[in-house]
Structure formats: C-alpha cells, structure tokens
C-alpha cells in the first residue's frame, strides 16, 4: 500500500518487545457490537480460539525477549475454555490484563479469577468495555440487555476486590465529556467500585465501526514527514506485538488487515512495523490507545476536593 | 560484618524537612556515600531549600524528569498524566516550583547526569531515575516481570540497578543474584497510611554478599504541612503528607498498588 504521493509507508522498528498480546478468542464474541473494529461476532471465524499449547509456547519465547507484560483480548476472552489456565501461566511470569465485555462473569468464575490474582505477585487488570452509563446509550451500540449484563459483571468484580478499568469509545460530542464521565462515576460507584478507573478511547473507523459511522478517507496516511520530530514511543507497535491462532501481527487494531500480518513465528514478528494503514493516523493522534495507560484519558476517583474550574 | 554502606534516595519533591532528617539519619548510621536519584522539586514548598543541603553533604545526584524539565525550561513535568484532575495538580505544582527555583539552581539541574555507574561490594551498580532506558519510565513492583529486569541488566551490563520515580519502594533479588531496587521517595509518603517516607541502604557484608534494606524515615511532617499551607499549596497535597495516603496522580498506579491505597 502506498500513500497518496506514491511513496512507501514509514517503517517503525520494534524498539523492544515490552508487551505481548494474545488474540485468545480470535474474532469470536458473544456480542455483535456495532462499533467493533474487527467485527467480532458469534459467527465470525476469521480467527479462532488460541490453544493453551500455543499460548504456553509464546509465553516461553517471550521470557528470553524480556517481555514486561501480557494482554489478553478477542473477541471475548472468557469464551475460551482455557482462559484461566492461560492467565495462570502468564501471571507466573508477569502482569496480565484482560479486555472483556464482562457479560460472561458468574460468582464462580470471578472467584476463580480472584484466586489467580491472589496467587501471583503481579497485577491482574480487568478492562471492561462499556459504551454508555445507561442502557439507553450503551445498548444501541453493544446490543439489547448488554448494559445490565455488564454492570452485573462489574458488580461481581468489585465484590471480589477487583478494580476494573472501564473503557468507553467516545461516541458522543467531546463537549459532553464531563457529563458523561460524571454519569459513569455515579453508576460505577453504585455498582460497588471503590476506585473508579475510566479510560476513553477514540473511535477506530474499521470493521463494523466503519459501517456504523464512517471509514477512513483515501488520503489518511502517515508519511515520513509526519514522523519527523514525533516521539514513536507513543505508538503501540513500537514496543508490542500480538499473536493469534494464525501467527504474529503488528498490533490488535490491524489483526485482520493484510498490512498487519508479520509472519508465523514470534521471531518473524520482530521485524519493523509498516505504518501503512489509515488507522495509524488515529494512533498518531492519540498515542498508545490500546495499553492501560494512554488513550483520551484515564479518569480516576475523586478523593476529597473537587477539580477547580 | 558490614564492610561498606551506601544510602540511596530519590523523589525529594522540595521536602527539605525530610531531606535534613535523612542527612542526620545517615550521619548517625555512619554512612558517607550518599546518592540522590532525582526529582528535587514538585509538590512541596520553597524549592530552593534542598540545594544547599545536598551540596553541603556532597550528595551525588542523578537527573530526574522534573529536574530535566525545570533545567530546560520545558512547559511541564513530563509525568505523562492523561487524567484531567491529575494534570491540573501536576501543572499547578510545576508552575509553583518553576517560579520559585532560582536561575542558578535551574542551571545546576540542567547539568545533572541522567545516570551514574559505580562499583560497590564488587558489583557494577547503575543509578538512574525511572529506568536505565528512560528517565520517566515507571517501574512498579506488580508490573515489572523478572524477564524484563533481566533484559535491563543485560542491556546495561550491570549487577545492581537502583531507580525511583514511582514513589513506591521495592526490592527484588533475581535468581541469578542481581538486585533491582526502587528506593522510593523521601518527598511524600508511600500511600500506606504512614507519615514516614522511605529510602534504601545497601551494605557490602562479609563473604561478598550485598544486603539491601528499605528504611523508613520519620521527620517533622507537621512543619512541612504548615509551610505548604503558608505557601497556599493544594490542600490535597497537604492531606497526603499528613495522612500517608495519595490523593492525586492515582491513575498511574497498577491494580495491586492502587488496591493498597485508600483512594
Ligand atoms: S467490541 Fe468487544 S464485546 Fe463488542 S463485539 Fe467486539 S470484541 Fe465483542
Ligand atoms: S494501527 Fe497503530 S499500532 Fe497498529 S501499526 Fe498502525 S500505528 Fe502501529
Ligand atoms: Fe520522576
């Protein structure tokens, strides 16, 4: 793929493999969100579940590379029957974060998660996607009944002592940020969250989201000039890679794009990233939106004292 | 038998009261090798007061992100907060510190080295602020894998790394006998409900062993709180000094560290 001026896309070498992601649920999800950038659904078999053997093998390889932390995503990771064993294997080596829609939690599996958390000295982070603080705003995007299901999941997590990070794609006018965040804070506090941790994400105009709103324009590409004087440490692909049941890809965003494919093995996956996709312009503008830090903002609980205006 | 000892501290955050207490404490323990890993300003009152204390005690100082920003006249502290409330407080204390640090002290901060290497107890030691590779990298205990530490040791070619920047002290000895130490901060408490602050003491003991202690330091926090109020610094900051619980900059804490605090 070339940009409008027909020059090859900028290449970004992998500085070091700090974070290793696992597409553990492939593109399979119990939901069918209208903004899902890889169009996950119960019947999207583009990528399948990873096996425990695959995950163990990549974890073993990651140690020699000095990986600092692990992320588990999908689809919905908790659909994968081996997710608990996968997390146990990861938490023996380093911190783990799971990105979930929180609709599959039961008292029994949350207790199992808590036991995994308590057995490790590393952090186990749960990141819950929610796209509004009411069923009226969330459900049109994530599906009927999903708000109540996810809030029940959040309640179970909070009850087990987890401090879930709630992520929301900003589908509203940025001017409404304060009102929306206040709504989220109130709901999450009511659900038992003692520390409200919120992360807003910009829209990635890919997959289902491209149909819901609009896709990228033909002229939206990164150029070498744009990267001059830019700190590439803000980009996820500068220090991360993702493995799926098929091999290694540059990042979770481009997992189902030809431009994101790097090879069958982790060794091949260490080659530079080609920043050829229009979605790269979103990362360029907002930074490493996929990692726990970064994004449009991580709003925390308000200890005594309010933000003076 | 202890053969040699050194003290390492960081995150002074203008807490000249704790710094004076620390210097008295190490003198009493008979230590003369003193290292400070940076972030002299921020948070506390009267930023110029820490400089003469450090110079008089001949402390070897490493540059922190705050020192780098102040020294180079950058518009912010480069802590990288994204939360609006954290940013508000970060900007406020940076503006106060910038305004109240003398030009001479800023020049001194600008010229500080980003790292120091030395030999101690027969080991190669690297002193840095955040991590050996990045001044503002946060190395938290619960999000730093052994594999990652091994890589840092490999890349920097040392046996011992001491850092600060997070404000929370921890120590891990790897199976191969190498040590990573986060010496914590003496500028504000460690989000543990205690008013004490923390620093690290390294001892070379008989048999070539290295002993690491994370030491609590009590100081007159009431005096600091009074000075902060007199300077009209945010009450949220004073609360942290008086209660030992962090009230701001919480977004950067990983789950495990966040769960230990009150907010
Ligand atoms: S956004 Fe998440 S929950 Fe929704 S369909 Fe995609 S993977 Fe599933
Ligand atoms: S989408 Fe973002 S993370 Fe992926 S290759 Fe492009 S810039 Fe890198
Ligand atoms: Fe710092």
Judging contacts by C-beta atoms under 8 Å, the chain A residues touching residue B255 are 123-125, 162-163
Q: Is A102 in the pocket of ligand 1 (CB under 6 A)?
A: no
Cβ–Cβ gap B82/A297 under 8 Å = yes
Instruction: Give nearest CA residue, ligand 2 atom 7.
Output: A280
Alpha helices in B101-141 (DSSP H): 103-110
**H helices, E strands: number in chain A:** 10, 12
Is residue A171 one of the residues assigned to a domain? Answer: yes
Q: What are all long-range contacts of B191-195, with beta carbons under 8 Å and residues at least 24 apart?
A: B191/B167, B191/B244, B191/B245, B191/B246, B191/B253, B191/B257, B191/B260, B191/B261, B191/B262, B192/B244, B192/B260, B192/B261, B193/B243, B193/B244, B193/B245, B193/B262, B194/B244, B195/B221, B195/B241, B195/B242, B195/B243, B195/B244
**Mean pLDDT throughout B233-243?**
97
Alpha helices in chain B (DSSP H): 16-28, 50-56, 65-71, 84-100, 103-110, 146-156, 221-230, 235-243, 255-260
pTM, two decimals, is: 0.94
- Closest residue in A to B88 (Cα) is A307
Strand partners, B205: B2, B209
Cβ–Cβ gap B234/A305 under 8 Å = yes
Q: Check which CATH number belongs to the domain holding A168 and give it.
A: 3.20.20.70
Give percent of chain A above pLDDT 90.
73
> CA A31 from chain center: how many Å?
16
Instruction: Render pLDDT for A190-245 as a digit per residue (tens, 0 to 9).
Output: 999 999 998 888 888 888 888 888 889 888 899 999 999 998 988 999 999 999 99
Instruction: Render pLDDT for B91-137 as a digit per residue (tens, 0 to 9).
Output: 899 999 999 999 999 999 999 999 999 999 999 999 999 999 999 99
Cβ–Cβ gap B236/A304 under 8 Å = yes
- Residue B179 CA to residue B173 CA, distance in Å, equals 5
> CA B52 from chain center: how many Å?
18
pLDDT confidence band for A304 (50 / 70 / 90): very low
Is residue A309 one of the residues assigned to a domain? Answer: no
Is residue A225 one of the residues assigned to a domain? Answer: no
CA distance B129 to chain A (A): 18
| pLDDT score of A209 | 85
- Residue A300 CA to residue A165 CA, distance in Å, equals 10
CA distance A243 to chain B (A): 19
Is residue A307 one of the residues assigned to a domain? Answer: no
Using the atom order of ligand 1, give the atom closest to the CA of residue A38: 6
More confident residue, B164 or A8: B164
* In the predicted structure, residue A2 carries a pLDDT above the cut 50: no
Judging contacts by C-beta atoms under 8 Å, the chain A residues touching residue B166 are none
Full domain range(s) for residue B139: 2-259
Ligand 1 midpoint to CA B251 (Å): 25
Reduced to 3 states (helix: H, G, I; strand: E, B; else coil), residue A192 is coil
Is residue A127 one of the residues assigned to a domain? Answer: yes
Cβ–Cβ gap A294/B146 under 8 Å = no
Q: Check which CATH number belongs to the domain holding B206 and give it.
A: 3.60.21.10
Ligand 3 midpoint to CA A247 (Å): 38
Residues with CB under 5 A from ligand 3 (ion): B 39, 64-65, 165
Q: Does B145 touch chain A (CB under 8 A)?
A: yes
H/E element, A226: helix A224-227
CA distance B93 to chain A (A): 14
**Count of domains in chain A?**
1
ipTM > 0.90, yes or no? yes
**Count of domains in chain B?**
1
**Mean pLDDT throughout A54-75?**
97
Is residue A280 one of the residues assigned to a domain? Answer: no
- Mean pLDDT, chain B, rounded, equals 95
- Mean pLDDT, chain A, rounded, equals 90
Q: Is A253 in the pocket of ligand 2 (CB under 6 A)?
A: yes
Is residue A57 one of the residues assigned to a domain? Answer: yes
* In the predicted structure, residue B78 carries a pLDDT above the cut 80: no
Q: Is A129 in the pocket of ligand 1 (CB under 6 A)?
A: yes
Instruction: Output the six-digit token pair for B245.
Output: 């619980």
Is residue A306 one of the residues assigned to a domain? Answer: no
H/E element, A63: helix A52-65
pLDDT confidence band for A293 (50 / 70 / 90): low
Full domain range(s) for residue A105: 16-215+235-271+285-299
């Amino acid at each position: 793929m070339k940009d409008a001026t027909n020059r090859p896309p900028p290449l970004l070498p992998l500085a070091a493999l700090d974070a290793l992601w696992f597409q553990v649920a492939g593109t399979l999800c119990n939901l069918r969100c209208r903004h899902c950038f890889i169009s996950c659904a119960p019947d999207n078999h583009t990528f399948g579940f990873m096996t425990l053997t695959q995950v163990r093998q990549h974890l073993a390889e990651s140690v020699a590379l000095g990986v600092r932390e692990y992320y588990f995503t999908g689809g919905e990771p908790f659909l994968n029957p081996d997710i608990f064993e996968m997390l146990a294997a990861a938490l023996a080596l380093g911190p783990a974060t799971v990105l979930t829609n929180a609709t599959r939690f039961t008292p029994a599996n949350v207790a199992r998660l808590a036991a995994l958390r308590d057995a490790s000295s590393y952090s186990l982070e749960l990141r819950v996607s929610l796209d509004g603080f009411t069923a009226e705003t969330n459900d049109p995007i994530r599906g009927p009944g999903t708000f109540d299901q996810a809030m029940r999941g959040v309640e179970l997590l909070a009850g087990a002592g987890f401090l879930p990070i709630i992520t929301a794609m900003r589908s509203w006018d940025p001017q409404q940020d304060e009102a929306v965040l206040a709504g989220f804070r109130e709901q999450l506090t009511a659900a038992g969250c003692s520390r409200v941790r919120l992360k807003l994400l910009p829209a990635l105009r890919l997959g289902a989201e491209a149909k819901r709103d609009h896709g990228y324009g033909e002229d939206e590409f990164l150029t070498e000039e744009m990267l001059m004087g830019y700190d590439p440490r803000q980009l996820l692909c500068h220090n991360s890679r993702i493995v799926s049941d098929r091999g290694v890809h540059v990042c979770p965003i481009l997992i189902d794009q030809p431009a994101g494919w790097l090879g069958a093995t982790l060794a091949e996956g260490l080659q530079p990233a080609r920043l050829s996709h229009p979605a790269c312009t979103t990362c360029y503008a907002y930074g490493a939106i996929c990692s726990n830090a970064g994004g449009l903002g991580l709003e925390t609980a308000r200890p005594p004292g309010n933000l003076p205006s | 038998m202890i053969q040699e000892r050194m003290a390492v501290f960081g995150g002074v955050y203008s807490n000249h009261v704790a710094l004076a207490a620390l210097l008295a404490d190490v003198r009493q323990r008979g230590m003369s090798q003193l290292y400070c890993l940076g972030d002299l300003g921020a948070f506390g009152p009267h930023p110029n007061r820490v400089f003469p204390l450090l110079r008089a005690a001949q402390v070897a100082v490493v540059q922190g992100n705050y020192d780098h920003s102040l020294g180079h006249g950058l518009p912010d502290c480069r802590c990288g907060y994204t939360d609006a409330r954290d940013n508000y407080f970060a900007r406020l204390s940076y503006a106060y510190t910038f305004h109240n640090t003398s030009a001479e002290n800023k020049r001194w901060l600008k010229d500080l080295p980003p790292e120091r290497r030395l030999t101690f107890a027969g080991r190669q030691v690297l002193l840095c602020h955040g991590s050996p590779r990045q001044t503002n990298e946060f190395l938290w205990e619960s999000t730093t894998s052994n594999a990652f530490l091994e890589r840092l040791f490999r890349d920097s070619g040392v046996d011992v790394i001491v850092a600060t920047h997070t404000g929370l002290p921890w120590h891990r000895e790897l199976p191969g006998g190498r040590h990573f130490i986060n010496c914590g901060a003496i500028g504000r408490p460690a989000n543990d409900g205690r008013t004490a602050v923390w620093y690290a003491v390294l001892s070379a003991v008989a048999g070539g062993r290295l002993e690491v202690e994370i030491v609590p330091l009590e100081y007159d926090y009431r005096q600091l709180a009074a000075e902060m109020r007199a300077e009209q610094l945010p009450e949220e900051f004073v609360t942290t000094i008086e209660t030992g619980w962090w009230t701001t900059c919480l977004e950067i804490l990983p789950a495990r560290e966040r769960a230990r605090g009150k907010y």
